[in-house]
A = this chain, B = another copy of it.
Amino acid sequence: MSISDAVIHRLPVYYRYLKDMEKDGIVQISSHELGRRMNITPSQVRQDINSFGGIGRQGYGYPVHELLIHIGKILGLDRNHNIIIIGAGNIGGALVGHKSFESNGFKTHAIFDNDPKLHGKELSGIPIYPMDDIKNFIKKNKVEIAVLAIPAEAAQKIADMLIKYGIKAIWNFASLDLKLPSSIAYQSVHLSESLQTLSFKLLHMNENNESNEKH
């Protein structure tokens, strides 16, 4: 049975909590206690972990380290991923500088940008190349993942090009929905939408919600 979409989005959250627990020296955790920390029900924890072939023991709980390794493998964090970033603007610059990606096996090898003034320069130690070099770079460096940190107007055309050159996954920061073949892994971060959702919550805060519970 395949892993449901809802569970896929919780997997990185489990990973994060388990990592913190391992760091704190916790070796065993029950669905009840893990659910309490993550603010979900123990039932959901057990259903989730079972859906990806988890490894619990009755009367004991789940071994933190083994579960962490297991989820890491499912997420592909046990291998290295070669990344390029398209666009040396604000977002592109922020992402190269982000240390935590590399610790999970995501290594950025180059940034590509249209602006000739940037070519030969670096951002956080990663070189910036002209767009024309993308094709050869992908081949030579076995790049699987491309980050789109460019304006929405250019994004679809660039995405099509990247796929033609062999890119297998696109992490999109442009404010549009790309049309891609279903054989390409695709994930977007829509910052404007996230901020607008926050704005909605701010505006409608008092309507439902008079209680004092934490969220």
Q: How far is the CA of A2 from the CA of B207 in the complex (A)?
A: 8
**Which residues of chain A in 153-211 are interfacial with respect to chain B, using CB atoms and an 8 Å cutoff?**
168-169, 171, 175-177, 179-187, 189-209, 211
Residue of B nearest to A207 (CB): B2
- What is the CB-to-nearest-CB distance from A19 to chain B, in angstroms, rounded to a whole number? 10
CB-CB under 8 A from A171, the residues of chain B are: 194-195, 198
Interface size (A, Cβ < 8 Å)?
A: 71
B182 with A2: CB separation less than 8 A: no
Listed residue (A2, A180, A195) with the most chain B CB atoms within 10 angstroms of its CB: A195
Q: How far is the CA of A198 from the CA of B106 in the complex (A)?
A: 11
Copies in the complex: 2
CB-CB under 8 A from A195, the residues of chain B are: 101, 104, 106, 171, 187
Question: Which of A26-34, A88-96, A109-117, A125-133 touches B?
Answer: A88-96
B182 with A212: CB separation less than 8 A: yes
- The 9 sampled A-B contact pairs (Cβ below 8 Å) are A11-B196, A11-B197, A106-B195, A106-B199, A171-B194, A181-B212, A182-B212, A183-B205, A187-B194
Which of A's residues lie within 8 Å of B, judged by CB?
2-3, 8-9, 11-13, 15-16, 38-39, 74-77, 81, 89-91, 93-95, 97-98, 100-101, 104, 106, 144-145, 168-169, 171, 175-177, 179-187, 189-209, 211-215
